[in-house]
Structure 1
């Protein structure tokens, strides 16, 4: 399980260092894809494959929305190698689509790690801090039997 928040810098070649807390879980390769809320997602190979199998591919391709999500996720996904200095290159198109600049934040999110622009993360967390109790209460009502 990926937890914690880590600030990092993207270098001029688009490389970023994977924080030590995440290294053992990922090994030498990872999947990267677009995520929701203008972030990117890093996945262990098996977690990405499991997510795609459970949440994407088992649903009917007869649904236009399903086909759109399927294309969106698969077309943005890349299998990346982690180098000997624990760096990987974020593809330029993904950096552009997620509005990443030099300063980024890597956020543990359970089975995945999210990469946010520092400003977007600060804005998101400020709003979340104001509403998290209300959101948690709403979710607890959804799961009551």
Structure 2
């Protein structure tokens, strides 16, 4: 399951938004009707996880944590505390609870961004402010890939 694309959408007055058709198609083909979403750890956006991807992420996190360690238990709790399950309705929409809209500054226009096996939802203006300038991006990716080749 891989999501690619940068698709703009509008939120209605009830905070519902249409999930882009290309993303819905991938979810349907993968038999993933349920989604889990939470605020991103590092950025001001929401992340939609297909249920199987979420379960894999939780298992990966659990495997690195000791349930008998107070700090690690708090980390796990913090990761799941703001996660919610949602379903895409018959019209292809999801309802984003208001508190999540406030968390990431979503008002009326959003961008759905396909990021590998997850979908990010950004306030339109916020996404533009987080992107790396093109020249810096090309230099960074070149450095990363050159380092990778040297390690092989």
The TM-score range, normalised by the shorter chain, is 0.7 to 0.9
> How far is 1:63 from its partner?
7.1
Alignment partner of 1:39 is 2:45: yes
- Structure 2 SS opposite 1:42: strand
In the TM superposition, 1:87-98 aligns within 5 A as: 87-98=93-104
Q: Give distance in 1, aligned partners of 2:45 and 2:74.
A: 18
Aligned counterpart, 2:5: 4
Q: Look at both structures and tell me which one has the larger radius of gyration over its CA atoms.
A: 2
Residue by residue over 1:70-101, the C-alpha shift from the partner in whole angstroms, topping out at 9 and shown as x without a partner, is 22321111110111110010112211111111
In the TM superposition, 1:18-29 aligns within 5 A as: 18-27=19-28, 28-29=33-34
Q: Give distance in 1, aligned partners of 2:75 and 2:17.
A: 27
Query: Alignment RMSD, CA only?
Result: 1.9
Q: 1:122 aligns with which of 122, 128, 132?
A: 128
Return 5+ residue gaps in structure 2 as ranges: none
Aligned counterpart, 1:58: 63
- TM-score, normalisation: structure 1: 0.87
Residue by residue over 1:38-82, the C-alpha shift from the partner in whole angstroms, topping out at 9 and shown as x without a partner, is 11101110011101111x111124373x44542232111111011
Q: Give distance in 2, aligned partners of 1:131 and 1:38.
A: 21
> How far is 1:134 from its partner?
2.5
Paired residue total: 142
Q: Give distance in 2, aligned partners of 1:11 and 1:130.
A: 37
Q: Give distance in 2, aligned partners of 1:79 and 1:16.
A: 16
The 10-residue stretch of structure 1 (23-32 or 9-18) with the greater mean CA deviation from structure 2: 23-32
Given that 1:34 and 1:73 are in contact with CA atoms closer than 8 Å, whether structure 2 keeps it comes out as: no
